[in-house]
């Protein structure tokens, strides 16, 4: 990046990218930029940058070393159990999904040729022909049936068991056709099938240490908690296979160590660096930051069924007391977008743009706290390093509280066991939610009355009814409208405060080309290995 | 004789001088610890700087931390935790360790064997595991933190004191005292301790450094000092990202730790020595 | 004399077995007290009751914890370290290569730090109160009072990022020449040497000075022996006991305590393995690592005790 734009911030980047995803035209974009006080050339530059990336011809060959941030002996190559980002990256390189979500958030076909339904209840999946696994066997409908049915078996320990439960029947119609029957109509099925866990494995596989899939890379070595090496699959079914000859993936959990390894040239990609490391990377020539906002967020949960969350004024006060702008600027160093207390990301086509975030207003907050009779009482807030940036957010809240006479007692608890011990349980605590591809999944998992992770114990019969109604609709306009209303309900009624959507920043060597932002998360939705190349 | 004789003359002169410097730095930090809440320029949790890892300036004397909070205020308040908790913990650990160690050496036999092996076993349990168990079992408070730190460092102090005491225990004057029929407390208090006090104090000094550093490790397990407060070790840890820029946010707390720990050890090295019991 | 030592070692071995058993029980109860089990932790945010129940059955976690522990213990007697809950791999396989790595790092660090620390400690005692002594003291305490991760991170910044002399990561597998070994181990070993030497230096100095002040050494001094000679001939042998104990305590850190160095240099050793085990409540893995740490510690202190006894004939 030779030409530096002075008043261009990370959030502007996100704004433009999201606008592009929502389908803004070039004209609209330039208008937006001008309104934002950004010089004309900047807009041209940014749009130009996107086309540059597309125009550059990929080079073949080379060995890529990349590092994620978490890895342990629990590392697995079983897509159903994948839980850490390192697992996702490996699975994306070794396996394929029936469908995938492209960089603009649209669902595209991968192993499937088509996924169709007349009533959103019974679906027909046509598979591509001539796809082979790494061991030479041909992909058939039996593999798909096996892969999908695994998630229904509680003994497998699938992470998407609760989502997969709506599948009542999967059967092979012929070698290349699969019929999927759902309990209730769900128009989102093609998008659900694009989730990382629904990767297609070989029929009958129980030992996943070999990593046999249809993916762009074949597994060479895999040591859980240490590293993995994969080499290019010469028989890949896509016309354009992997550019790299091989790639090595491991984790460096210490943020500074990961950045330093990148800067010293030991690795070419350092995934998910902390905002405070950006200064260092930017100060060194030959490195680029790649930012994505994918809908990951850290939220404050107030249980509506427990003290003090059962006082509606406490919840209302907290929504005004949280200084979203300060969290964005100081805690996240600009690597975030101010959010409006509901889980649908601004990158989603269903995002309700009319719903504005509540402004920081200590006076209004104080009014509500007074009404609730809570001023002067000590209220514990549980935070942990397990929920990204929650300790810092709690400190910001604590300070704002002190100014209106509220005593927040921030309790930093260990990351270890946080999700089973404090999350969902403590009266006021922080959570961290990973991006989910559809509003339906988010709402069913987090806000429906019977949701497994109903963080604030929000119960609304009206909400539940709207959820079921929207799920079966094939009319996009109608759906968007219902989801928009549901977002308002969550923001106003639920006990969750979502201050910002977090951005993910990957730092890469300038020699690494082809890495693009993806709505599924950093590292190109964890699938970068197949698309990137090394420019020697 | 050798150059050492001139050095020991110089030693006589500089001894109090160096000891005094050490003592005054310790007293300085102790005073800060006491009056910190009254002199901090900003509340420790308040974000006062738009920038992060800010440099020293007229408004912020020690710059700002990773969130843009005032470093001076954080270091001043941090003194309370680092000085207070570490001194308390190391005193308890060394007192228990040394008393048990000397007793084991004097009593000997099965008492010695059992105590030694039990403490060995304690020392073998990884501290992360014990830290987590403590949080899970009794929750978190400053007193729990002090006790945990003391328990972690007692076995080491015990082993070292015992090794010293066992050597002294074989000396003639101990045998004499034993034949005189002296009680156990007299033996350890008047015969053993005066003869091992030098190394014991040196051990205390080094253990103090370890406690100061482990303190921050435990607050990351959720034990003890809670936000927005932080001890010095935790300040270094949370601001380590400022290292490449030489940010005062990481350098100042490091220097604070070094100044305190070096002073404690210099003071110990230069304590005025009592005339020792040479009754043998 | 030798029979005495043989007896001592035999008794110690028996006691060590007992200690290991006690530690094993302690670790078991500690792990059992921690919230969550392997199934809930692996499922994380996806831990619905049915999913947890299913995974528990699949991983054979539905037996009571104590039964599983006793099962593991009986396996241990026949030399089987058990199978990891989380990935169904034999614990021996998980530990194997990493144990070698840990021992290699510990070995190199010991070879460098022990002679260095003893030399500095003894010479500081010889010239007690001199400028040299004070510099050694200030430097020693200064170095350990800077947290380990700052030392290691600074070293990486200087030698890898700015000077580009050394690799930032110590990946032990692709070693082909002595030169590479030096490059890979340089930074971890130096960082660890800083950490473990301080205690040895300070304790050696203190123990030697203390023996200098005993009457018979003072007599030797009055007879006209030079101070350095007196220290080496008379004071040192009497200070061996405390010194070897300090050395043993410092070195025991190298077996299980090097988590920070392993993390920053991405060096695959067993300290990280233990941390993984604790965070996934993988009992066989935790137990096996704890046994290794405990055994290492007991070996070191038993050696220390033997050396102390050999050095002081009156202890026999």
Residue A369 makes CB contacts below 8 A (sequence gap 6+) with: A313, A314, A317, A375, A404, A405, A406
| B279 vs B191: CA distance, rounded Å | 9
* Of C31, A111, C126, nearest in space to B137 by CA: C31
Q: Which chain C positions have a beta carbon within 8 Å of A159's beta carbon?
A: 43-44, 46
| C30 vs B136: CA distance, rounded Å | 10
> What pLDDT sits at residue B129?
78
φ, ψ at C247 (rounded to 5°): -60, -45
| B104 vs B277: CA distance, rounded Å | 21
| A451 vs A458: CA distance, rounded Å | 9
Which helix (H) or strand (E) segment is A379 a member of? strand A378-384
A308-363 pLDDT, tens digit per residue, is: 999 999 999 999 999 999 999 889 988 899 999 999 988 888 999 999 999 999 99
B81 to chain A, any CB pair closer than 8 A? The answer is no
Best mutation site among A254, A273, A279 for testing chain B: the one with the most B CBs within 10 Å?
A279
Question: B1 vs C144: CB contact, 8 Å cut-off?
Answer: no
Question: A256 vs C50: CB contact, 8 Å cut-off?
Answer: no
C134-161 pLDDT, tens digit per residue, is: 899 888 888 888 888 888 888 899 999 8
Q: Which chain B positions have a beta carbon within 8 Å of A411's beta carbon?
A: 140, 222, 226
Cβ atoms of A383 and A429 closer than 8 Å: yes
* Of A188, A443, A482, nearest in space to A352 by CA: A482
Among candidates C58, C164, C268 on the partner chain, residue whose Cβ is nearest the Cβ of A264: C164
Q: Which chain C positions have a beta carbon within 8 Å of B132's beta carbon?
A: 34, 278
C155-190 pLDDT, tens digit per residue, is: 899 999 888 888 888 875 566 778 888 888 889 999
Q: Which chain C positions have a beta carbon within 8 Å of A158's beta carbon?
A: 46, 51
Closest-approach residue (CA) in chain A for B222: A413
Helix/strand/coil for A503: strand
> What pLDDT sits at residue A147?
96
Residue-level length of chain C: 316
- The residue with tokens 């990773």 is B66
φ, ψ at C179 (rounded to 5°): -60, -40
Which helix (H) or strand (E) segment is B258 a member of? helix B248-269
> What pLDDT sits at residue A18?
56
How far from chain centre, in Å, is Cα A257?
24
Closest-approach residue (CA) in chain A for B42: A399
> What pLDDT sits at residue A501?
93
Closest-approach residue (CA) in chain B for A392: B67
Task: Specify the range with the lowest mean pLDDT, choosing from A229-238, B13-22, C91-100.
Answer: B13-22
**Which CATH number covers residue C255?**
1.10.3720.10
CB contacts under 8 A, A 398-437 vs C, are: 416-417, 419-421, 433-434
For residue A167, is pLDDT > 50? Answer: yes
A459: tokens are 């119960």
pLDDT bin (cut points 50, 70, 90) of residue C253 is: confident
Using a CB cutoff of 8 Å and minimum separation of 24, what contacts does A446-453 make? A446/A343, A446/A496, A447/A343, A447/A486, A447/A490, A447/A494, A452/A162, A452/C48, A453/A424, A453/C45
| A419 vs C43: CA distance, rounded Å | 10
Q: Which chain B positions have a beta carbon within 8 Å of C294's beta carbon?
A: 121, 124
Choose between A272 and C214: higher pLDDT: A272
Question: B228 vs A395: CB contact, 8 Å cut-off?
Answer: yes
Choose between C218 and C22: higher pLDDT: C22
Supply the pTM of this predicted model.
0.84
Q: Which chain B positions have a beta carbon within 8 Å of C126's beta carbon?
A: 4
Beginning with the edge strand found earlier in the chain, give each strand of the sheet holding A122-127 in spatial order. Answer: A112-117, A122-127, A177-182, A167-174
C249 to chain B, any CB pair closer than 8 A? The answer is yes
B275 to chain C, any CB pair closer than 8 A? The answer is no
Question: A265 vs C164: CB contact, 8 Å cut-off?
Answer: yes
Q: Which chain C positions have a beta carbon within 8 Å of A284's beta carbon?
A: 161
Domain that holds residue C192: 91-309
State chain A's mean pLDDT as an integer. Answer: 86
Q: From the CA of B63, how many Å to the nearest CA of chain C? A: 19
Helix/strand/coil for A507: strand
Is A96-198 a CATH 2.60.120.10 domain?
A: no
Residue A135 makes CB contacts below 8 A (sequence gap 6+) with: A202, A212
B174-233 pLDDT, tens digit per residue, is: 888 888 888 888 888 888 888 888 889 988 998 898 898 888 777 667 777 888 888 998
Handedness of CA B258, B259, B264, B265 (dihedral sign): positive
CB neighbours of residue C310 within 10 Å: 16
* Of C250, C201, C274, C304, nearest in space to B116 by CA: C304
The percent of residues above 70 in pLDDT, for chain A, comes to 89
| C298 vs C142: CA distance, rounded Å | 30
CATH number for the region A221-294+504-534 comes to: 3.40.190.10
Domain definitions of chain A by residue range: 10-56, 96-198, 221-294+504-534, 297-502
B240 to chain A, any CB pair closer than 8 A? The answer is yes
For residue B78, is pLDDT > 90? Answer: yes
Interval C61-86 mean pLDDT: 84
| C295 vs B205: CA distance, rounded Å | 28
A435-480 pLDDT, tens digit per residue, is: 888 899 899 889 999 888 899 999 999 999 999 999 888 888 999 9
CATH number for the region A297-502 comes to: 3.10.105.10
Q: Total structural domains in chain C?
A: 1
* Of A478, A454, A381, nearest in space to B228 by CA: A381
Question: C150 vs B1: CB contact, 8 Å cut-off?
Answer: no
Say if residue B43 is exposed, middle or buried (CB neighbours under 10 Å; 0-12, 13-18, 19+).
Answer: middle
Q: Which chain C positions have a beta carbon within 8 Å of A157's beta carbon?
A: 39, 42-43, 51, 54-55, 58-59
CB contacts under 8 A, B 93-152 vs C, are: 113, 117-118, 120-121, 123-126, 128-130, 132-133, 136-137
* Of A389, A385, A253, nearest in space to A333 by CA: A389
Task: Kindly provide the ipTM of the predicted complex, given to two decimals.
Answer: 0.83
- The residue with tokens 């050490």 is B22
Q: Name the CATH architecture for the domain at B5-18+30-274.
A: Orthogonal Bundle (1.10)
> What pLDDT sits at residue B85?
92
Question: B198 vs C30: CB contact, 8 Å cut-off?
Answer: no
């Amino acid at each position: 990046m030779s030409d530096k734009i002075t008043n261009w911030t990370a959030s502007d980047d996100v704004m433009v990218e999201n606008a592009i995803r929502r389908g803004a035209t070039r004209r609209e974009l330039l208008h937006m930029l001008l309104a934002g006080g950004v010089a004309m050339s900047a807009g041209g530059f940014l749009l130009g940058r996107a086309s540059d990336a597309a125009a550059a011809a990929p080079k073949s060959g080379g060995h890529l070393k990349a590092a994620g941030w978490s890895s342990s002996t629990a590392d697995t190559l079983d897509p159903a159990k994948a839980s850490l980002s390192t697992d996702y990256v490996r699975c994306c390189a070794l396996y394929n999904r029936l469908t995938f979500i492209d960089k603009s958030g649209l669902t595209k076909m991968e192993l499937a040729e088509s996924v169709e339904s007349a009533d959103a209840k019974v679906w027909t999946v046509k598979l591509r022909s001539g796809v082979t696994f790494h061991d030479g066997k041909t992909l058939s409908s039996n593999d798909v049936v096996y892969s999908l049915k695994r998630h229904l078996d509680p003994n497998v320990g699938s992470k998407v068991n609760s989502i997969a439960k709506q599948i009542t029947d999967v059967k092979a119609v012929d070698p290349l056709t699969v019929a999927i029957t759902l309990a209730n109509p769900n128009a989102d099925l093609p998008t659900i099938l694009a989730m990382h866990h629904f990767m297609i494995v070989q029929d009958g596989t129980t030992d996943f240490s070999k990593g046999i899939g249809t993916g762009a890379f074949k597994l060479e070595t895999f040591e859980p908690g240490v590293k993995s090496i994969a080499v290019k699959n010469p028989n890949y079914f896509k016309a354009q296979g992997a550019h790299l000859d091989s790639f090595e993936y491991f984790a460096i959990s210490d943020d500074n160590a990961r950045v330093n390894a990148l800067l010293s040239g030991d690795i070419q990609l350092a995934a998910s660096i902390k905002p405070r490391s950006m200064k260092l990377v930017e100060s060194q020539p030959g490195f680029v930051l790649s930012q994505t906002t994918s809908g990951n967020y850290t939220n404050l949960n107030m249980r509506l069924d427990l003290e003090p969350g059962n006082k509606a004024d406490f919840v209302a006060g907290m929504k005004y007391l949280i200084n979203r702008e300060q969290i964005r600027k100081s805690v996240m160093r600009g690597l975030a977008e101010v959010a409006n207390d509901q889980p649908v990301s601004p990158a989603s086509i269903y995002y309700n743009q009319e719903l504005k975030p509540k402004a920081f207003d200590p006076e209004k907050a104080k009014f509500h706290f007074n009404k609730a009779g809570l001023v002067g009482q000590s209220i514990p807030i549980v935070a942990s390093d397990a929920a990204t940036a929650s300790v810092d957010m709690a400190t910001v809240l604590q300070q704002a509280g002190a100014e209106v006479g509220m005593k927040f007692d921030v309790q930093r608890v260990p990351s270890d066991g946080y999700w089973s011990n404090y999350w969902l349980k403590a009266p006021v605590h922080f959570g961290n939610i990973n991006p989910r591809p559809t509003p339906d999944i988010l709402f069913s998992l987090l806000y429906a009355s019977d949701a497994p992770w109903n963080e604030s114990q929000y119960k609304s019969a009206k909400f539940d009814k709207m959820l079921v109604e929207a799920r079966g609709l094939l009319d996009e306009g109608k759906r968007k409208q219902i989801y928009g209303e549901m977002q308002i309900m969550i923001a106003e009624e639920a006990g969750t405060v979502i201050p910002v959507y977090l951005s993910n920043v990957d730092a890469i060597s300038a020699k690494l080309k082809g890495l693009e932002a993806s709505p599924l998360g950093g590292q190109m939705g964890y699938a970068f290995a197949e698309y990137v190349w090394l420019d020697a | 004789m050798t150059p050492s004789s001139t050095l020991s003359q110089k030693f006589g002169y500089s001894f109090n001088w160096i000891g005094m410097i050490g003592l005054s730095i310790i007293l300085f930090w102790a005073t800060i610890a006491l009056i910190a809440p009254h002199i901090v320029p900003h509340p420790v949790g308040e974000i006062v700087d738009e920038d992060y890892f800010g440099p020293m300036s007229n408004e912020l004397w020690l710059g700002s931390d990773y969130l843009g909070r005032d470093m001076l205020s954080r270091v001043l308040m941090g003194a309370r935790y680092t000085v207070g908790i570490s001194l308390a913990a190391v005193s308890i650990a060394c007192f228990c360790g040394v008393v048990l160690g000397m007793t084991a050496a004097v009593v000997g036999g099965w008492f010695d064997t059992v105590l030694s092996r039990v403490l060995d076993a304690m020392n073998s349990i990884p501290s992360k595991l014990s830290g987590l168990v403590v949080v899970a079992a009794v929750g978190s408070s400053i007193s729990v933190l002090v006790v945990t730190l003391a328990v972690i460092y007692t076995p080491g102090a015990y082993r070292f004191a015992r090794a010293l005491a066992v050597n002294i225990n074989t000396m003639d004057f101990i045998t004499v005292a034993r034949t005189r029929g002296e009680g156990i407390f007299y033996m350890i208090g008047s015969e053993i301790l005066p003869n091992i006090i030098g190394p014991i104090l040196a051990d205390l000094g080094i253990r103090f450094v370890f406690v100061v550093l482990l303190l921050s490790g435990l607050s990351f397990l959720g034990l003890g000092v809670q936000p927005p407060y932080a001890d010095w070790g935790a300040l270094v840890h949370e601001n380590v990202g400022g290292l490449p820029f030489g940010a005062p946010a990481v350098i100042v707390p490091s220097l604070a730790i070094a100044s305190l720990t070096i002073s404690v050890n210099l003071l110990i090295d230069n304590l005025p020595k009592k005339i020792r019991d040479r009754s043998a | 004399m030798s029979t005495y030592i043989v007896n001592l070692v035999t008794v110690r071995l028996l006691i060590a077995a007992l200690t290991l058993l006690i530690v094993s029980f302690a670790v078991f109860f500690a792990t059992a007290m921690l919230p969550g089990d392997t199934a809930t932790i692996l499922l994380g945010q996806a831990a619905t009751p049915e999913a947890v129940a299913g995974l528990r059955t699949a991983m054979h976690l539905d037996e009571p914890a104590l039964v599983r522990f006793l099962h593991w213990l009986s396996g241990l007697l026949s030399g089987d370290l058990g199978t990891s809950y989380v990935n169904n791999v034999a614990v021996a396989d998980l530990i194997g290569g990493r144990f070698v790595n840990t021992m290699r790092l510990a070995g190199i660090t010991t070879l460098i730090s022990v002679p260095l620390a003893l030399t500095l400690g003894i010479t500081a005692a010889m010239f007690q109160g001199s400028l040299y002594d004070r510099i050694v003291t200030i430097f020693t305490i200064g170095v350990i009072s800077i947290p380990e991760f700052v030392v290691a991170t600074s070293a990486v910044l200087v030698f890898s990022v700015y000077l580009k002399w050394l690799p930032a990561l110590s990946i032990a597998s692709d070693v082909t020449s002595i030169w590479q070994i030096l490059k890979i181990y340089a930074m971890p070993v130096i960082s660890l040497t800083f950490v473990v030497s301080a205690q040895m230096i300070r304790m050696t100095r203190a123990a030697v000075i203390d023996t200098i002040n005993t009457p018979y050494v003072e007599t030797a001094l009055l007879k006209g022996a030079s101070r350095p000679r007196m220290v080496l001939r008379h004071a040192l042998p009497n200070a061996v006991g405390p010194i070897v104990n300090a050395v043993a305590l410092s070195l025991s850190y190298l077996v299980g305590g090097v988590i920070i160095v392993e993390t920053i240099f991405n060096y695959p050793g067993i300290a990280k393995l233990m941390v993984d085990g604790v965070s996934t409540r993988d009992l066989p893995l935790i137990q096996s690592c704890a046994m290794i740490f405990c055994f290492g510690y007991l070996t070191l202190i038993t050696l220390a005790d033997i050396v102390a006894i050999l050095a002081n004939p009156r202890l026999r």
